[in-house]
Chains A and B, each alone.
Chain A
Amino acid sequence: MQRLLYTILYVVLAVHASAQTMVTGRVTDMQNKPVSDVIVKLVSGSKTLAFTSSNAQGEYSLEVKNVPSGEVTLQFTHISYEKESERLSFKEKAVKVDMLLTPKAVSLKEVTVKTDPLRQRGDTLSHNLASFLGKGDVTLEDGLRRLPGVDVAQSGAISYMGKPISQFNIEGLDMLGGKYNLATRNIPADYVTQVEIVRNHHRRRVEKDVPSNEVSMNIRLSNKAKFKPFGQEEAGAGYMKDGNDRLQALLGVTGMMFTDKFQTICSLKGGNYKSFAQADMIDHFGGSDVTTPATSLFGGFDGGAPPQGEYLYQRNGMATLNGIHKLDSATTVKVNADYSYHRATHDISQSSTYLTGTGDYVTVNEQTSPLTKVHLPKLTVNYLKNADRVYFSETFVVKGKFEQNEGDVLANQQLVEQRRKTSSFEVGNDLFWMGRTEKGTRRHVNASVSFKRTPTLRLSFVNDGRGYGQTAQSSTLSMNVGSSFNIPIGKVFRLSLPVRVSAMYDDVETNRVATGEVNDIRGWSFTPSINPGFEIHSRNRRFYLSAGLGAALKGLYYNKLNYTKPVLNPSMGINYTFSANSKLQFSTGYTTQIGDMMTLLTEPMQVDYRSVRTSSGIIGEQDTWHTSGDWKWQLPMQYFTLSLAASHSEGKRNTLYSQSVSGIDISSSALQRDTRSRSTNFSVSSTKNFPSIFTKLGADASYGFGDSEQAVNANIIKIRSNNYDLHGNASVTPIQWLELRYDIRYGWSRSRYSEESNTVTSLTHSGAIHVFPIATLDLSLDYDHVRRQITTDQYKRMSLFNASAQYKWKQCVLRLELTNLLNQRSYSYTVFDGINTYTYDYGLCGRTAMIRTTFKL
Chain B
Amino acid sequence: MQKILVIMMALALTTAAQAQTETVDTAQFVAVYDYECRTQNDEAAPVTDRMQVVVQVGRTVTKSMPYSAYPVYDAESKPDVAAGFQEALMHMPTVWTGYPEGQTTVREFIFPHDYEGYEPTPDIAWTLSEDTVTVSDHLCQQATATFRGLEWHVWYTEEIPSSAGPWRLRGLPGLIVKAESEVHTFCLAKLRMEASPITAPEQTPEVHRMKYAKLLKHKNEIYGNRQYAKNPMYYVPNPQGSITDMSVLKRNGQKLVFANGGHPLLTKAHVYQPLELK
A209 lies within 8 A of B71 (CB): no
The residue on A at minimum CB distance from B4 is A579
**Contact flags B21-64 to A (C-beta < 8 A → 1, else 0):** 11110001100000000000000000000000000010110000
The residue on B at minimum CB distance from A206 is B203
Bound form: Cα–Cα A541–B260 in Å: 10
**Counting CB contacts under 8 A, is A727 at the interface?**
no
**Contact flags A482-521 to B (C-beta < 8 A → 1, else 0):** 0000001001000000000000000000000000000000
Bound form: Cα–Cα A200–B59 in Å: 28
Knowing A79-B28, A106-B193, A114-B74, the reply to whether A579 touches B7 (Cβ < 8 A) is: yes
Partner of A47, one of B71, B130, B171, B245: B130
CB distance from A364 to the nearest CB of B (A): 56
A539 lies within 8 A of B203 (CB): no
Partner of B71, one of A116, A122, A202: A122
Knowing A39-B173, A541-B261, the reply to whether A440 touches B205 (Cβ < 8 A) is: yes
Give chain A's interface residue range (CB within 8 Å of chain B): 35 or more
Q: List residues of chain A with CB within 8 A of the CB of B14.
A: 121-122, 580
Bound form: Cα–Cα A202–B203 in Å: 14
A123 lies within 8 A of B18 (CB): yes
CB distance from A576 to the nearest CB of B (A): 13
B162 lies within 8 A of A37 (CB): yes
Q: List residues of chain B with CB within 8 A of the CB of A464.
A: none
Partner of B161, one of A83, A116, A172, A579: A83
The residue on A at minimum CB distance from B162 is A79
- Looking at A48-56, A749-757, A835-843, the stretch in contact with chain B turns out to be A48-56
Partner of A112, one of B10, B15, B72, B192: B192
Which chain B residues (73-106) contact chain A, with CB distance < 8 Å? 73-75, 101-102
The residue on B at minimum CB distance from A116 is B74
Q: List residues of chain A with CB within 8 A of the CB of B102.
A: 55
CB distance from A690 to the nearest CB of B (A): 15
**Contact flags A551-579 to B (C-beta < 8 A → 1, else 0):** 00000000000000000000000000001
Partner of A205, one of B11, B22, B128, B209: B22
CB distance from A654 to the nearest CB of B (A): 45
**Counting CB contacts under 8 A, is B185 at the interface?**
no
Q: List residues of chain B with CB within 8 A of the CB of A116.
A: 74-75
**Contact flags B190-218 to A (C-beta < 8 A → 1, else 0):** 11111001001001111001000000000
**Counting CB contacts under 8 A, is B144 at the interface?**
no
Partner of A77, one of B15, B158, B244: B158
B20 lies within 8 A of A205 (CB): yes
A579 lies within 8 A of B205 (CB): no
A77 lies within 8 A of B173 (CB): yes
**Counting CB contacts under 8 A, is B135 at the interface?**
no
B59 lies within 8 A of A37 (CB): yes
**Counting CB contacts under 8 A, is B19 at the interface?**
yes
**Counting CB contacts under 8 A, is A111 at the interface?**
yes
Bound form: Cα–Cα A693–B63 in Å: 38
A579 lies within 8 A of B29 (CB): no
The residue on B at minimum CB distance from A216 is B20
The residue on B at minimum CB distance from A123 is B18
Bound form: Cα–Cα A329–B23 in Å: 10
**Counting CB contacts under 8 A, is B138 at the interface?**
yes
A122 lies within 8 A of B18 (CB): yes
**Counting CB contacts under 8 A, is A825 at the interface?**
no
B163 lies within 8 A of A39 (CB): yes
A119 lies within 8 A of B130 (CB): no
Partner of B204, one of A209, A538, A579, A637: A209
**Counting CB contacts under 8 A, is A80 at the interface?**
yes
Bound form: Cα–Cα A209–B21 in Å: 10
Q: List residues of chain B with CB within 8 A of the CB of A3.
A: none
**Counting CB contacts under 8 A, is B174 at the interface?**
yes
CB distance from B180 to the nearest CB of A (A): 21
Q: List residues of chain A with CB within 8 A of the CB of B23.
A: 172
Which chain B residues (146-178) contact chain A, with CB distance < 8 Å? 158-163, 171-174
**Contact flags A113-144 to B (C-beta < 8 A → 1, else 0):** 11010011111100000000000000000000
**Counting CB contacts under 8 A, is A793 at the interface?**
no
**Counting CB contacts under 8 A, is A540 at the interface?**
yes
CB distance from B137 to the nearest CB of A (A): 6
Q: List residues of chain B with CB within 8 A of the CB of A41.
A: 173
**Counting CB contacts under 8 A, is A771 at the interface?**
no
A111 lies within 8 A of B191 (CB): yes
B101 lies within 8 A of A209 (CB): no
The residue on A at minimum CB distance from B8 is A579
Q: List residues of chain B with CB within 8 A of the CB of A542.
A: 261
Knowing A114-B194, A388-B203, the reply to whether A541 touches B19 (Cβ < 8 A) is: yes
CB distance from B165 to the nearest CB of A (A): 13
**Contact flags A261-274 to B (C-beta < 8 A → 1, else 0):** 00000000000000
Q: List residues of chain B with CB within 8 A of the CB of A77.
A: 158, 161, 173
Q: List residues of chain B with CB within 8 A of the CB of A833.
A: none
B163 lies within 8 A of A119 (CB): no
Knowing A208-B20, A388-B22, the reply to whether A106 touches B29 (Cβ < 8 A) is: yes
Partner of B193, one of A83, A113, A209: A113
A111 lies within 8 A of B173 (CB): no
Q: List residues of chain A with CB within 8 A of the CB of B190.
A: 110, 112
A208 lies within 8 A of B161 (CB): no
B191 lies within 8 A of A200 (CB): no
**Counting CB contacts under 8 A, is A439 at the interface?**
yes
Which chain A residues (26-82) contact chain B, with CB distance < 8 Å? 36-37, 39, 41, 46-48, 51, 53, 55-56, 77-80
CB distance from B206 to the nearest CB of A (A): 6
**Counting CB contacts under 8 A, is B17 at the interface?**
yes
Q: List residues of chain B with CB within 8 A of the CB of A172.
A: 23
A122 lies within 8 A of B29 (CB): no
Bound form: Cα–Cα A39–B159 in Å: 12
Q: List residues of chain B with CB within 8 A of the CB of A541.
A: 15, 18-19, 261
Bound form: Cα–Cα A47–B132 in Å: 12
Bound form: Cα–Cα A77–B161 in Å: 6
A46 lies within 8 A of B17 (CB): no
Knowing A39-B161, A121-B72, A540-B245, the reply to whether A491 touches B206 (Cβ < 8 A) is: yes
Q: List residues of chain B with CB within 8 A of the CB of A440.
A: 205
B162 lies within 8 A of A119 (CB): no
The residue on B at minimum CB distance from A77 is B161
B20 lies within 8 A of A580 (CB): no
**Counting CB contacts under 8 A, is A198 at the interface?**
yes
**Counting CB contacts under 8 A, is A438 at the interface?**
yes
The residue on A at minimum CB distance from B101 is A56
Which chain A residues (532-548) contact chain B, with CB distance < 8 Å? 538-542
Bound form: Cα–Cα A580–B138 in Å: 40
Q: List residues of chain A with CB within 8 A of the CB of B191.
A: 108-111
CB distance from A230 to the nearest CB of B (A): 21
Q: List residues of chain B with CB within 8 A of the CB of A109.
A: 137-138, 159, 191
Bound form: Cα–Cα A205–B204 in Å: 12
A56 lies within 8 A of B60 (CB): yes
A108 lies within 8 A of B193 (CB): yes
CB distance from A45 to the nearest CB of B (A): 10
Q: List residues of chain A with CB within 8 A of the CB of B173.
A: 39, 41, 48, 51, 77
Q: List residues of chain B with CB within 8 A of the CB of A201.
A: 20
Q: List residues of chain A with CB within 8 A of the CB of B260.
A: 539-540
Bound form: Cα–Cα A194–B17 in Å: 19
Bound form: Cα–Cα A109–B10 in Å: 30
A36 lies within 8 A of B59 (CB): yes
Q: List residues of chain A with CB within 8 A of the CB of B203.
A: 208-209, 388
Given contacts A120-B73, A579-B11, 11 further A-B contacts (CB under 8 A): A41-B173, A55-B102, A78-B161, A108-B29, A113-B193, A123-B17, A388-B200, A439-B205, A539-B206, A541-B261, A580-B10
Q: Can you sample 7 A-B contacts with CB below 8 Å?
A: A79-B160, A108-B29, A116-B74, A119-B72, A119-B74, A541-B19, A579-B8
Interface residues of chain A, those whose CB is within 8 Å of chain B, are: 36-37, 39, 41, 46-48, 51, 53, 55-56, 77-80, 83, 106, 108-114, 116, 119-124, 172, 198, 200-202, 205, 208-209, 329, 388, 438-440, 488, 491, 538-542, 579-580, 637
8 shortest interchain CB distances as A-B pairs: A122-B17, A440-B205, A77-B161, A540-B261, A51-B173, A122-B18, A121-B71, A39-B173
